[in-house]
Amino acid sequence: MAEALIVSISGVRGIVGESLDANAALRFSQALAANLEPGAVTVSGDSRPSGRWLMRLASAALESAGREVIDLGIVPTPTVGVAVRRLVAAGGLHVTASHNPSPYNGLKLFGPDGRVLPAGPAGRVRDAYLGDTRFLPAGWDGCGKVRSCHEALDWHVEAVVEAARQDGILNPIRQAGFRVLVDGNGGAGGPLALKLLGELGVETVPWHCEADGDFVHPPEPTGDNLASMASVVRGAGVDLGFVLDPDADRLAILDGEGNFPGEEYTLALAADGILARRPGPLVINLSTSRLSEMVAQSRGCACIRTPVGEAHVVDGMIAHRAVLGGEGNGGVMDPRVGWVRDPFVGMALVLGSLALS
């Protein structure tokens, strides 16, 4: 039996050409167009081979609904949030299946504030997709146009570097002489990681950093999946190994000997450094281990827990004016940069902590 299309407030996900076909992609994109405020919509994707096809379908559906489409190309998931805010867009549609294997792909939705669409608006899109709503196209003279935007990666780098400057870690990182292996695993994040680390003055050893969709090891950055990277990192003569998942919203860290302590350490290390210099609330979800909570307590800071799900963490960060938020899966969020799990923020904060230790 074919695997069913997964439809939720997070978007849709399925096997391309089976449960996720052209009709599903077109209709879901039409449902998004019908439920956003007026304005342009960004379209982007991670590096999976099926991504460009789905991006073209999404663009066609949005254009037919009268929307201007801004094509960001292949970019990391958190870059979408940065770009939506910078472009003052009505929202965004990102083609990705996150850490799932390559036969899968999906559509992820963003709101005008650059965060993944929260439950209320996302539920309306889902219900419109699943219901009997008939989406009427614009007239022949009312269709939208597509324009490309090539600046999104630069905007993202600028935001992370500026946050590092504000935190007083930019110069210490540049002076530390770090050497880091970056495992992009063929995903969308390799080029941005190399660009950012170059701006931070870090020497890099690229490992499959081309965004070509060729996943050389299983894409989810867990201990079992990263076992093959231990010898690679150890043999590279580096201080650290940074590993990204395909859509680059999670960061796994290996030490110079190739040891992987677990994804929980990404948020904990990032939080330890920033809360020491800029005390304030830390927001995490209920599935995150006590490690990050203990870090916050050691710095005299409140740690607030939310229900599981990125949208809930963002809600908590906004409500409590958090300095930092995240999840134990390697996701870190700095509100100065964006409201999306951001491994590039994590890289800067972890390097800053090490530079000042």
User: Which residues are annotated as catalytic?
Assistant: 98
Count other Cβ atoms within 10 Å, centred on residue 165: 11
265 CA to centre of own chain? 18
Exposure string of 80-119, with b = 16+ CB inside 10 Å and e = fewer, is: bbbbbbbbebbbbbbbbbbbbebbbbbbbbbbbebbbbbe
Three-class secondary structure assignment of the chain? CCCCCEEECCEEEEEECCCECHHHHHHHHHHHHHHCCCCCEEEEECCCCCHHHHHHHHHHHHHHCCCCEEEEEECCHHHHHHHHHHHCCCEEEEECCCCCCCCEEEEEEECCCCCECCHHHHHHHHHHHHCCCCCCCCCCCCCCCEEECCCHHHHHHHHHHHHHHHCCCHHHHHHHCCEEEEECCCCCCHHHHHHHHHHCCCEEEEECCCCCCCCCCCCCCCCCCCCCHHHHHHHHCCCEEEEECCCCCCEEEEECCCCCCCCHHHHHHHHHHHHHHCCCCEEEECCCCHHHHHHHHHCCCCEEEECCCHHHHHHHHHHHCCCEEEECCCEEECCCCCCCCCHHHHHHHHHHHHHHC
Pairing of β 331-333 and β 324-327: antiparallel
Determine the length of the chain: 357
List CB contacts of 162: < 8 A, sequence separation 6 or more.
336
